[in-house]
Structure 1
Amino acid sequence: MASITFKENPVTLLGNEVKEGDKAPDFTVLANDLSEVNLDDYEGNVKLISVVPSLDTGVCDAQTKRFNEEVTKLDNVKVLTISMDLPFAQKRWCGAAGVENVDTLSDHRDASFGEAYGVLIQEMRLLARAVFVVDSNNNVTYVEYVSEATNHPDYESAITAAEKAQ
């Protein structure tokens, strides 16, 4: 299992670690309008799944804005930003930040995504920072569990992986 720290303190991740080559686990999260969303809703697209603890923090804000900009240069790639933030807060944040190219999705209801991808932090009921790229056939082609939750992910590697997954 991935070893993660939050502000340099070790945390316990619940769920199953996902590895490159795995079939992407399904999940159910909530869109900003409270409708249920799962992996099949993005069938036929490459998915760059950006996982953040909360959009209301500096690194999460920057991460989501960066992928919002980068996705405009990519064909057939959907960026999903998943956090434990409430759907209402995600919608408000997107409006204030001008983020229009990313689907913000909430795992707050039952932590379905967090457990399926091994990013649910037991001590805080937040999601650990991670990036997954899933190709159009739902195969995982890239995984990064960011070892310190307050650090940025490797943006360039994730974007390159999304380009190659086409």
Structure 2
Amino acid sequence: MKITFKGNEVKLISTPPKVGNEMPNFTVLDQTNQNITKNDLLGKVSLISVVPDINTPVCSIQTKMFNKKMDQFPEVNFLTISTNTIQDQQKWCAAEDVKNMQLMSDKDLSFGKSTGLLIPASGILARSVWIINSKGEILYREIVDEITHEPNYDSALRELKKLI
């Protein structure tokens, strides 16, 4: 899999899991500094939006786009994961008036390492969208091949609609 950042190829730490695989175990921090693991998501379908840096335009657009669509899927966990600190994420949420989307900090890189999405040269995660079922199985994944591009929102939302 070839991933680029502004046209320059970047290497991921390892190969990300595929559709049909179980989502690897991970630990991220929620906005109250509590550990959230994959097991905390089980029992509901989850859409995980992964952004490199919440304070950049494309990451902001991606997070706000999924935040707007959440109300259509009240039975789905919506999360955004980035390597930003909780404080950075809280400032962004306040500035952008985002109240519903759960932002999770992967500052310890657990999610990035377990999923293979970590770009070790820069310490950020590859832009991607994941949908896992209530048992933790990956039903959908899009790893955006150019990090500065937005994901295919319609494709992810179509997949969610199939599950409802």
| TM-score of the pair, normalised by structure 1 | 0.95
**What SS class does the counterpart of residue 53 from structure 1 fall into?**
coil
Give the deviation of 1:163 after TM superposition: 2.2
Distance across 2 between alignment mates of 1:101 and 1:160 = 21
What is the aligned partner in structure 1 of residue 145 from structure 2? 147
How far apart are the structure 2 equivalents of 1:117 and 1:38? 13
Tell me what 2:110 maps to: 112
The alignment partner of 1:116 has SS state of helix
CA distance in 2, matches of 1:137, 1:35: 22
Compute the displacement of 1:76 (Å): 1.1
In structure 1, runs of 5+ residues without a counterpart are none
1: CA distance between counterparts of 2:96 and 2:163?
28
Q: Structure 2 counterpart of 1:114, which letter? A: G
Query: Counterpart of 1:69 in 2: which secondary structure?
Result: helix
Q: Which aligned pairs between 1:1-166 and structure 2 lie closer than 5 A? A: 2-109=1-108, 111-166=109-164
Question: Distance in 1 between the 2:87 and 2:156 partners?
Answer: 28
Measure the CA separation in 2 of the matches of 1:107 and 1:75. Answer: 25
Q: How many residues align?
A: 164
Query: Counterpart of 2:90 in 1: which secondary structure?
Result: helix
Once the 2 structures are TM-superposed, how far is the Cα of residue 18 of structure 1 from its aligned partner? 1.3
Structure 1 contact 15–114 (Cα < 8 Å) conserved: no
- The sequence identity of aligned pairs, in percent, is 40
RMSD: 1.1
Q: CA deviation at 1:24?
A: 1.2
- Find the aligned partners of 2:37 and 2:163 in 1 and give their Cα distance: 20
TM-score by length of 2: 0.96
CA displacement, residues 79-114 of structure 1 (integer Å, 9 cap, x when unaligned): 1100010011101111211112211001112x1101
Structure 2 unaligned segments of length 5 or more: list them.
none
Q: Hey, what's the Cα distance between the residues in 2 that align with 1:164 and 1:119?
A: 26
CA 1:16–1:112 in structure 2 vs 1: closer, same or farther (change >3 Å)? Answer: farther
Runs of 4 or more above 6 Å deviation: none
The one-character-per-residue Cα deviations of 1:46-67 (angstroms, maximum 9, x if unpaired) are 1100000011000000000000
Alpha carbons 1:16, 1:116 under 8 Å: kept? no
Report the residue type matching 2:153 in the other structure: Y
